[in-house]
Amino acid sequence: MTVWLVRAGVHGEREDLALENGLAVIGWSELPDLSLINSREELDSLLRETLPESKRKSIPNWVAQLWAFSARIEVGDLVALPLKARSAIAIGRVTGPYQYRPDLPGDALHSRPVEWIRNDIPRSAFGQDILRSLLHAAQTVCQIRRNKAEARIRAILAGQPDPGVA
């Protein structure tokens, strides 16, 4: 099992949508349904065709994030959503595959169903190393794995203090 950081907008603009609808959502509204993409190479080509004005170095970064969101995240993995509107972290469990949702707002077309376990964990519950990973990662989607992050987050979910690094 893995812990994934999935942000809900630069300013948290998709937080309520995600929490109220049991979803992890990401932007990239210019892109079509990613379930039709079968490889990272296809995704790379799609991004280069769809976003030709993008910086060359941005494309590989976006490919990694979009591929993780659409193909690498598995049912049962944990999702961490740092909340911008309040000083808390939401943690949920992925319950289904990637979905393209044209019924959602344009900045939330790409989604994963999530059962939100807690949406009110104070930032102070996390050790500084994990908190830095959650708050300061440069990406919208990335795996959080440093310093036994999964075991530590599971302890916090169980109501225990962050056991830190052994």
Residues 87-112: tens digit of each pLDDT: 999 999 999 999 999 999 988 999 99
Name residue 3's amino acid.
V
CA–CA dist 50, 69 (Å, integer):
18
> What is the 3-state composition of the chain as percent helix, strand, coil, each rounded to the nearest 5?
40, 25, 40
pLDDT in tens, 145-163: 989 999 999 999 999 999 9
Residue 74 CA: distances (Å) to CA of 11, 82, 98, 164: 26, 20, 9, 26
Strand pairing report for 3-6 and 141-144: antiparallel
Question: What does the pLDDT read at residue 85?
Answer: 85
Question: What does the pLDDT read at residue 56?
Answer: 81
CA–CA dist 35, 25 (Å, integer):
15
Low-confidence stretches of the chain (pLDDT < 70) are 165-166
CA–CA dist 70, 83 (Å, integer):
22
Backbone conformation region of residue 159, classed left if phi is above 0, alpha if psi is from -120 to 50, else beta: left
Q: What is the pTM of this model?
A: 0.93
Domains of the chain (ranges; CATH) run: 3-32+72-157 (3.10.590.10)
At 131, list the tokens. Answer: 């908190």
Q: Which of 75, 73, 70 is closest to 93 using CA atoms?
A: 75
